[in-house]
Amino acid sequence: MASPNHTQAVALAPEEERSAQEREASLMAALPMQIAHAQRQTSAFAQLLEGVDASSIDNRQALARLPVIRKYELLQRQQQQRQSDVFGGFSAIGYGAAMPRVFASPGTIYEPEGVRADYWRMARAMRAAGFQAGDLVHNSFSYHFTPAGSMMESGAHALGCSVFPGGTGQTEQQVHAMAELKPAAYAGTPSFLKLLLERAQELGVSIASVRKALVSGEAFPPSLRDWFAARGVQAYQCYATADLGLIAYETQAREGLVLDEHVIVEIVRPGTGEPVSEGEVGELVVTTLNPDYPLIRFGTGDLSAVLPGTCPTGRTNTRIKGWMGRADQTTKVRGMFVHPGQVAEIIGRFPAIRKARLVVTGEMANDQMTLQVETADSAETLQAPLAAAIREVTKLRGDVQCLAPGALPNDGKVIEDARSYT
């Protein structure tokens, strides 16, 4: 089996090799203009950022003071305004020539697509995966409702590739189309690529023309990556959402995911808008520079962490570890919902607490809560006031366990449901 790095080098775009200082200066120069644009052109941000002086939001510290807009809030606003504005006041463009397509994600959340070439910025991830002009890309992402198919197709077209819109399902027909058209590349979920390769083998049909792939939409473990490599396919993953487009992508170095050049990414403590220390797991919050759909501090609900250093390929942008779980750890305890924001509210009252985790144990209908906190202070001085704060905020009783700094795992969990359901 070839080494994962044993592939032809991919030429870098100039902006991918910028110094960190040059990139940050460019992003922070664009940020105030994007915020002002969002305030002027969208009713949602006119309200959410009312009174904010956009010109003063020119650094990450100032950005961190703005509210985080999470996906459920976006959905709520869309649902509330269905009759007047299906986008909930977040879109800066309307139906017509400026918006050739509208998509829907589960929920249902509606997303606009603008007219710019490579609107979702997927070409960068495809190029990093080895896609090049003249390739035929077999695209097995859905072309219906969700934007996934269009995201990959528009990125491939921007690179000068042709696209076969395979979509989902019809596995045997897709295998035969691949055998006859001989695509060089695949775009879709990793599980469907595996299914196609297995079905081709069962049918005795060769689809060996496919040598590279860009996969997304689900977990892509190293074991599956190696399974593809053993069959001659070098597959790379990217992280993108229907709201934001490309956020980060894998390179031939196979060391985390490099951030896209046109997003500002923060990693915050779940349930808050407070950035965590570098390397600590938290929720990905993204500000996009897309003028058509200018989402400011949009909480993805996904967990990740920053990797130290830069990519060995020469790309200088920040790297993240990839998808590490969901930030929304809301759980029900004794019939009451408890969410990460409540844990953040509790510990926010105690400056001596560095980190906390609420652990729910016991059996159903016999739940017990224990708030584990990292602190250098005496446990005796914190336990009683912390227990009182737990009761006040959650309306539930909870125990307190004081731990030494660094004792809690770095996994982004604020609420751990450790109950027995058997």
On the CB side of 64, CA atoms within 13 Å amount to: 13
Residues 56, 60, 62, 64: is their CA dihedral positive or negative?
positive
The percent of residues above 70 in pLDDT, for the chain, comes to 96
pLDDT by residue (tens digit) across 317-344?
999 998 888 887 878 787 777 888 889 8
Tens digit of each residue's pLDDT (9 = 90 or more) over 97-127: 999 999 998 778 999 999 999 999 999 999 9
Q: Is beta strand 136-139 parallel, antiparallel or unpaired with respect to 162-165?
A: parallel
Confidence of residue 421 (pLDDT cuts 50, 70, 90): low
Q: What is the mean pLDDT of the chain?
A: 92
- 325, amino acid identity: G
Is the Cα dihedral 343, 349, 351, 352 positive or negative? negative
Task: Kindly state the average pLDDT of the residues 4-16.
Answer: 71
Q: Which pLDDT value is given to residue 195?
A: 95
Query: Residue 267 and residue 278: Cα distance in Å, rounded?
Result: 8
Please name each of the domains of the chain with its CATH number: 14-20+99-326 (3.40.50.12780), 331-417 (3.30.300.30)
